[in-house]
Amino acid sequence: MTASKDKTLLRALAGETQAVPPVWLMRQAGRYLPEYRATRAKAGDFLSLCYNPELAAEVTLQPIRRYGFDAAILFADILLLPQALGADLWFVTGEGPRLSTLTDAAGLRALKGRDDIHETLAPIYETVGILARELPRETTLIGFAGAPWTVATYMIAGRGTKDQGPAHALKDTDRATFAALIDLLTEATVEYLSKQVEAGAEVVKLFDSWAGSLKGQDFDDFCLEPAKRIIAALKARHPGLPVIAFPREAGERYVGFARATGADCVALDNSVEAGWAAEKVQVDGCVQGNLDPKLMVTGGEALARETRRIRDAFSKGPHIFNLGHGITPDADPENVHVMLQALRG
């Protein structure tokens, strides 16, 4: 896959240093935008929005129209994959996702296989196809999935947890069952992302939102190794496909992560300092990040100043400007303009 001269994000992923880095925001299609809230109301509920290709494409396109970001990321959710594998999934207003819990080997055996997910996920692939046709030619289309560890934490607990305690407990008391779940999720994630690429995604991103709670050998076994397997399989099927990996809150384990996994870019959360990351992580290739999302709420000169500082810290190598985590519902849409003006000058 040749990096198009019109697509600055692909150029960064190919290793090019640019005076003005490409920019997009995690959760850029979301509740901080009034047009998103209107479209979600039309869909009826969050899952209905995810599975409605026309409306999911519309909310993906909304921030591109408003801000002219260099990339659009597919509107979906990381928990659609476990639903496709047979888990029950629903969303509680004001509280977030809920799933049926997987607590033992019997629960694992009850799940579907990796090749049985596509009927449920067909609307997601249709959304990708719509976006591939409708996005501006200079805008890169990013597909995504949750990394196996992060998805497993939700499947085991039945919800998000602060410390991922239930997943750690199963890992520590029945490592064989836990490892088998990670294997299934690894294989299913390859199939899911591969179908997104076939439908038109130009880049894929692997979100390991809870990677930071894995330590030592557990980090190697359940964060690094699955990412390595997924990336290798995808690149074997789709030569030249760029992959962004986001092992959030990995800290020192960001160092060498790209080399160890084959990722073309490592996304950084805002707990690491940009100067440190430029010296320790960017030496291996493209990095993405890492503005504090809280600044999108407070705005002002502090937002502009920090945007310029991060841009300058990463200016000697390939960089994709982004937040250290997703933009929050209480962010001011006007602050995105402040950030873009500071970034692009």
State how far the Cα of 287 lies from the Cα of 72, in Å rounded to an integer.
18
Phi, psi values for residue 270, rounded to 5°? -85, 10
**Which residues have a catalytic role annotated?**
27, 31, 40, 77, 154
Across the chain, which has 345 residues, the per-10-residue mean pLDDT values are 75 98 98 97 96 98 98 98 98 90 97 96 98 98 98 97 97 98 98 98 98 98 98 98 98 98 98 98 97 98 98 98 98 98 95
> Which positions ≥6 away from 333 have C-beta within 8 Å?
32, 33, 34, 66
Q: Please state whether the peptide bond connecting residue 290 to the residue before it is cis, i.e. omega within 30 degrees of 0.
A: yes
pLDDT in the model for residue 345: 87
Q: Is 13 helix (H, G, I), strand (E, B) or coil?
A: helix
Length of the chain, in residues: 345
* First-to-last C-alpha distance (Å) of the chain: 31
- Across 93-221, the runs of DSSP E, i.e. the strands, are 96-99, 140-146, 203-208
Domain range list for the chain: 8-344
- The CATH number of 8-344 is 3.20.20.210
Question: CA-CA distance, 104 to 102, in Å (whole number)?
Answer: 6
User: Residue 115: its pLDDT value, please?
Assistant: 94
Please give the model's pTM, rounded to 2 decimal places.
0.97
What is residue 94's predicted lDDT score, i.e. its pLDDT? 82
Q: Is 142 exposed, middle or buried (0-12, 13-18, 19+ CB in 10 A)?
A: buried
Name the token pair of 192.
Answer: 């899911």
> Which pLDDT belongs to residue 271?
97
pLDDT the model gives residue 195: 98
Distance CA 236, CA 231 (A): 8
